[in-house]
Copies of this chain bind each other. A is one copy, B any other.
Amino acid sequence: MSKTISHDDDTLATLAEAPTSRRAFLRSASLTAVGGALVACGTGSEKNAATTQKAAIPAATPTAATTVAQTGGTMGAHDTAKSASAAVSAAETMDAMHEKGIKAFPAKTAHYGNQPLEPKLVNGVKVFELTATEMKWETAPGQMVSAMAYNGQVPGPQIRVREGDRVRVVLKNQLTQSTAIHFHGLELPVAMDGVPFITQPPVKPGESYTYEFTVPNAGSHMYHSHHNAAVQVGLGLLGAFIVEPKNKSKEPKVDQDVVFILNDGAHGYTFNGKSFPATQPIVAKLGQKIRIRYMNEGMMIHPMHLHGMHQTVIAKDGWDQPAPWKCDTLNIAPGERWDVIVNCNNPGTWAFHCHILPHAESDHGMFGMVTALVVQK
C-alpha cells in the first residue's frame, strides 16, 4: 500500500495469459507472482488437491421447481431440466461478472494517493507543503468522483518524521471552502491543533496557513481537515502522519511498513482512495514480516479480515498495547489507528477485505474494500 505498482495497459489477468511477452518479463516479480497465483486457480497446489466433480444438475432444487410450478406449466422431467439449465445459465452470468472483476485486479487508475512526501530542509526544519484543491478522482476504472485533495492525492501524501523533529506544514487553500488541518493523535501545543474558531481562524479560499511544531509523540497518526470535516474528510482531505520513535530499539524489525487507510464516504468503500479492483495488493516474499498501519478516516467500523495468516496487534493510536495479541479480523472504528504485524509464512494470493460483506461483494462480484496480500515463494 505504501508503494504504487506501476503498470501500463495490462491487467494481471493479461499478464498471466502472456507471461513471455517482453513487457511482462520486465515487470516486477510481484506482479508476475500475482498472475501466477491466478493461473494456479483450480490446479491444486497442495498435495491433496481439491477435486471438482461434474455431477448432474440438481433434478429439481426447491427454487427451480417452485418457479416452474408458479408459472403454471405442466412440469415434466424435461421442464425441470430446462429450468435447472436456466439456473445454471444465470449462475454462469453471475460467475462471469465475478471473474471479470478479479481478472481486472489490480486495475490501473489515474493517480495514486498516500505517496511519500519528501520535506525541504530549511534551517533544520522539515518543511512540508500541502495544497488543497478540488478535482476529480478515479476510485476504480472509469469511476470518477468529486474530490478534495492535498497535492492532488487521495489520501494526501504520506508524511513521515521522527520524534523530536522540528516540522513546518504549509497549507495552501485552493478550495472554494475554508479549511484547516488537525494533526490527529499528535499532542501539540493548542495553537497548532487546527480547529477553526477554537484554536485558529479558518483558512479561507486563497489563503495559506503555517503550522510549526516539535514532534511530540511517536506512532501512527493522521492529518485531516477539521472544518466542515464530515464533508471534507469524506471527499479526501486526509493523510497519514507517521512518527518514528527516537529510540528505535523497541520497534519491531519489519521488511515492509504499509499504510492502509480506510474510507467510506462520498467515494464509496475505499482502501487508500481506491475501490476493488483498483486497490493495490501488498506483495511480500515468503518469510518476510510486514507491519500494517490501519487508519480509519470513515464513518463506519471496518473489521479487516486477512485470509491465511493471523495479525499480531502491537499498537493502538500510536501507543504500544501492554502485550501483543493475535486475531484474523481486526475491528477498526472511525478515528482509530491500529498497528499489526503479519508474518508472511503462507505462500499464495490471499483475500484481504472488510468483513462487513456488503462493503466488499455484491451479486456483481467483489468491489470496494477488497485487496490481496500476495506471499511469493
**Is A50 part of the contact surface with B, judged by Cβ < 8 Å?**
yes
**Is A174 part of the contact surface with B, judged by Cβ < 8 Å?**
yes
Structural contact, B189 and A46, CB atoms closer than 8 A: yes
Task: Say whether, besides A205-B87, A205-B88, A346 and B190 are in contact (CB < 8 Å).
Answer: yes
Task: Specify which chain B residues have a CB less than 8 angstroms from the CB of A48 in the assembled complex.
Answer: 212-213
**Is A45 part of the contact surface with B, judged by Cβ < 8 Å?**
yes
A49 CA to B201 CA in the complex, in Å?
13
Structural contact, A52 and B321, CB atoms closer than 8 A: no
**Is A308 part of the contact surface with B, judged by Cβ < 8 Å?**
yes
Task: Specify which chain B residues have a CB less than 8 angstroms from the CB of A293 in the assembled complex.
Answer: none
A310 CA to B218 CA in the complex, in Å?
12
Closest residue on chain B to residue A304 by CB atoms: B335
Which of A61, A87, A234, A360 has the most chain B CB within a 10 Å cutoff?
A: A61
Structural contact, B358 and A230, CB atoms closer than 8 A: yes
Interface residues of A in 297-315 (CB under 8 A from B): 299-301, 303, 305, 307-310
Structural contact, B198 and A91, CB atoms closer than 8 A: no
Closest residue on chain B to residue A347 by CB atoms: B190
Structural contact, A208 and B52, CB atoms closer than 8 A: yes
Structural contact, B333 and A328, CB atoms closer than 8 A: no
A56 CA to B174 CA in the complex, in Å?
10
**Is A77 part of the contact surface with B, judged by Cβ < 8 Å?**
no
Task: Say whether, besides A199-B348, A350-B190, A208 and B308 are in contact (CB < 8 Å).
Answer: no
A50 CA to B317 CA in the complex, in Å?
26
Closest residue on chain B to residue A346 by CB atoms: B187
A375 CA to B233 CA in the complex, in Å?
28
Structural contact, A198 and B357, CB atoms closer than 8 A: no
Binds B, one of A35-43, A109-117, A154-162, A244-252: A35-43
Closest residue on chain B to residue A196 by CB atoms: B98
Task: Specify which chain B residues have a CB less than 8 angstroms from the CB of A358 in the assembled complex.
Answer: 230, 299
Structural contact, A176 and B90, CB atoms closer than 8 A: yes
Task: Specify which chain B residues have a CB less than 8 angstroms from the CB of A273 in the assembled complex.
Answer: none
Closest residue on chain B to residue A358 by CB atoms: B230
Structural contact, A308 and B200, CB atoms closer than 8 A: no
- Other-chain residue from B38, B63, B191, B202 in contact with A50 (beta carbon distance below 8 A): B191
Interface residues of A in 324-370 (CB under 8 A from B): 324-329, 331, 333-336, 346-351, 355-358, 360-363
Interface residues of A in 86-108 (CB under 8 A from B): 87-88, 90-92, 94-95, 98-99, 102-103
Structural contact, A187 and B308, CB atoms closer than 8 A: yes
A135 CA to B58 CA in the complex, in Å?
14
Structural contact, B331 and A193, CB atoms closer than 8 A: no
Structural contact, A323 and B326, CB atoms closer than 8 A: no
Task: Specify which chain B residues have a CB less than 8 angstroms from the CB of A308 in the assembled complex.
Answer: 187-188, 190, 193
**Is A163 part of the contact surface with B, judged by Cβ < 8 Å?**
no
A234 CA to B102 CA in the complex, in Å?
22
- Other-chain residue from B37, B51, B64, B318 in contact with A190 (beta carbon distance below 8 A): B37
Chain A residues packing against B (C-beta within 8 Å): 37-38, 40-42, 44-46, 48-58, 61-64, 84, 87-88, 90-92, 94-95, 98-99, 102-103, 133-136, 146, 172, 174-178, 182, 184-185, 187-193, 195-213, 217, 226-231, 233-234, 299-301, 303, 305, 307-310, 316-319, 321-329, 331, 333-336, 346-351, 355-358, 360-363, 372
10 closest A-B pairs by beta carbon, nearest first, are A190-B348, A335-B355, A57-B206, A87-B176, A322-B323, A319-B326, A230-B357, A331-B333, A329-B335, A63-B134
